[in-house]
Amino acid sequence: MRDQLWYIALLIGLMCIIRFSLSAFGYANPPWFMEEVGISLSDNPQMPYAIRAWAIRDMVVSGLVILADQAAIKLLLAGCIVIDVTDIVSAYLSSVAGLLGEADGWLLTLTSTAIAALLLELTALILLSIPKKTSAQ
């Protein structure tokens, strides 16, 4: 994220804050996180492990994006987009398969931070992909 225009840095920074903060809460207290998204701990005793694995992934990705230079940021943002799209699709497919309650599946899909992060990182990637005009000399 280093050496970016302020508005691109803002988009990327917000995405990293969303990603890292929710992941840190999920890692620190998976049962609380499960309760917030409507997943029963008694029905899913293995879920705290999965939540912690997801949380570590997102905290590491946030760190990599924050430390990235101009050359790596587009690739990292593309990776973040793929991660968020697969998270959204996975929640939807789990809901359709009946693995989550109808309300829970849509809750995970529609209110997921994946959607918020996806919009921010997609906007940042589009802005970074616009060719910069150079003044004619």
Q: Read off the pLDDT band of 107 (50, 70, 90).
A: low
Identify the domain containing residue 68 by its residue range: 6-40+48-129
- Show the 3-state SS of 37-99: HCCCCCCCCCHHHHHHHHHHHHHHHHHHHHHCCHHHHHHHHHHHHHHHHHHHHHHHHHHHCCC
Q: Is the pLDDT of residue 106 over 70?
A: no
Distance in Å from the first CA to the final CA of the chain: 30
Q: Read off the pLDDT band of 108 (50, 70, 90).
A: low
Count structural domains, the chain.
1
Q: Is the pLDDT of residue 73 over 90?
A: yes
Q: Does the residue 1 lie in any domain? A: no
Q: Which residue has the higher pLDDT, 114 or 129?
A: 129
pTM beyond 0.95, yes or no: no
Q: Does the residue 99 lie in any domain? A: yes
